[in-house]
Amino acid sequence: MKRLTLLCIALALGSSAALAQSGRVQRGFTFAQTNCSQCHAIGRFGDSPIPEAPPFRTLHTLYPIEDLAEAFAEGITTGHPSMPQFELDPAQINDLLAYLQSIQG
Ligand code: HEC
The neighbour count for residue 104, using CB atoms within 10 Å, is 13
Long-range contacts (CB closer than 8 Å, 24 or more residues apart) made by 81-86: 82/39, 82/50, 82/52, 83/39, 83/53, 86/35
From atom 14 of ligand 1, which residue's Cα is the shortest distance away?
Answer: 53
Give the whole-angstrom CA distance, residue 5 versus residue 40.
47
Q: What is the pLDDT of residue 83?
A: 67
Residues in the chain: 105
| Residue of higher predicted confidence among 22 and 13 | 22
CA atoms within 13 A on the CB side of 46: 13
Residues with CB under 6 A from ligand 1: 35-36, 38-40, 50, 52-54, 59, 62, 68, 76, 78-80, 82-84, 86
Q: What is the pLDDT of residues 43-93, one digit of tens each?
A: 999 999 999 899 999 999 988 888 888 878 777 665 556 667 777 888 999
Q: What is the pTM of this model?
A: 0.82
CATH for the stretch 25-103: 1.10.760.10
